[in-house]
Amino acid sequence: AQKITQTQPGMFVQEKEAVTLDCTYDTSDQSYGLFWYKQPSSGEMIFLIYQGSYDEQNATEGRYSLNFQKARKSANLVISASQLGDSAMYFCAMREGYDYKLSFGAGTTVTVRA
Amino acid sequence: KAGVTQTPRYLIKTRGQQVTLSCSPISGHRSVSWYQQTPGQGLQFLFEYFSETQRNKGNFPGRFSGRQFSNSRSEMNVSTLELGDSALYLCASMGRMLAEVGGELFFGEGSRLTVL
């Protein structure tokens, strides 16, 4: 079974608008972490935001916020005030317990239009 | 602070050849992990090293191997290349000894391998 599911292959968003990227996860671990990474065309994976399973508040980092709904096992990324430079592929990922690897979703391509 | 550096950035090989990719982690980081990214399979974990020891390995055939040196630099090797090995190979380093759930990975720009 897929550990991370991103159902939106691609999205278009108007500059300065907000966009929500969906992510659902599957784990039986009580302790886990959820990450969002951005991958521009250069290939580098850029860390955006992290949410721990025991964190009671939703994580925020600048224009990025994570809408964490534990009971629904979802960890949606919200990008506010989109900029042209936000055009990239976005990956949701999870680390379970003390496992060293990240499990990634298939990614969502975001294209910001002027 | 310099980021994760991967070399070479691009390379082309033919089937049956072998390839070695190099990764220099962020200074002070002792954990290095490798991921393969392909359009069909997405991002898949290859292996992770800490202090020259492989701590975890993904589901890849034995043709994929790696090692880590005392200065934390890591190499991965793929022998007897197949067409399906064409991919972006990403290296990542982590500053924490244990994979605490909050330890984010810092990635390099990757090595893009094409197998003809």
Chain B nearest-CA distance from A98, in A, is: 5
Residues in A closer than 8 angstroms to B109, CB to CB, are 42-44
Cβ neighbours around A13 below 10 Å, total? 17
Q: A29: Cβ–Cβ under 8 A, 6 or more apart, which residues?
A: A53, A96, A97
Which chain B residues touch A if contact means CB-CB below 8 Å?
31, 33, 35, 42-43, 45, 48, 55-56, 58, 88, 90, 92, 98-110, 112
Give the pLDDT score at B63: 97
Residue B108 and residue A104: Cβ atoms within 8 Å?
Answer: no
Q: What is the amino acid identity at position B33?
A: S
Task: Say if residues A7 and A74 touch (Cβ distance below 8 Å).
Answer: no
β B111-115/B10-13 pair status: parallel
Residues of chain A in contact with residue B42, where contact means CB-CB under 8 angstroms, are 104-107
Tell me: the pLDDT tens digits for B67-79?
999 999 999 999 9
Per the structure block, which two tokens stand in for A1?
């079974």
Residue spans of alpha helices (H) in chain B: none
What pLDDT was estimated at residue A98? 74
Per residue in A23-82, pLDDT tens? 999 999 998 999 999 999 988 899 999 998 988 899 999 999 999 999 999 999 999 999
